[in-house]
Amino acid sequence: MKPSVFSTVEGIFCNVRSHQNQIPQFPEGSPFDEFFREYFERERRNMPSQRPIVGLGSGFIIDDSGIVVTNNHVIEAADEIKIILNDSSEYTADLLGRDPKADLAVLKFNANGKKLKSVEWGNSDTARIGDPVIAIGNPLGIGNSVTSGIISAISRDIGFGPYVKFIQTDASINKGNSGGPLFNGQGKVIGINTAILSQTGGSIGLGFAIPSNSAKKIIYQLKEFGKTKRG
């Protein structure tokens, strides 16, 4: 197996407005009114209106023009998206479109003349239980990592929504792997790593990927229209 060069969406920076406490309403002239008003106004002065939040995720290049696929939950609410390739080069990406219902997003970045390599899609409909797979991503933000396993189940419903039936794999997937590719034995992408089921928050061999055949149709629409058009 020889997968194509891949990229990881390693830094996502969001500015989220803090929720300011609301002043309780008391009858006019109440001694509590003045007390609580002074208290909350003092708290507001000490509370920053915005706080930066850093999100971590993965992704992969599907076109040498700089088109990247990832999960919607990786970039949702992001004000700035940074893409770091496996050679540590860093680029700012634009959001072309996203589909929260299928948890997919398409990004684009300018590589400034750098030659990019894209992955090749595989046919997820031919995947069978027991087939070997490899997951690539950025688990826990430590950098590009490769894990191997098999397909544990196909067409798995985990209550995520009506539009996706997942491929289940025992290849180790952790937080930060979201949006990364799941390769088959021929080095082709048959899934997009999306979710885990775990009581501890870590990998226990219950990972789930969006099948490539389901994702490709949505990704095409996101590239062309910026949104998914459903009947």
User: Any idea which residues carry the catalytic annotation?
Assistant: 73, 103, 178
- DSSP for 201-219 reads SS-SS-EEEEEHHHHHHHH
Q: ∠172-119-195 over CA atoms, to 5°?
A: 30
CB half-sphere exposure, 147, CA atoms < 13 A: 22
Q: Which two tokens stand for residue 115?
A: 């030659």
Q: Which 3 state secondary structure label does DSSP give 127?
A: coil
Cα separation values, 23 from 18, 33, 110, Å: 15, 9, 47
Give CA–CA dist 44/26, Å, rounded: 19
Find out whether 220 and 99 touch, Cβ atoms under 8 Å: no
DSSP class per residue in 28-66: TT-HHHHHHHHHHHHHHHHS-SEEEEEE----EEEETTT
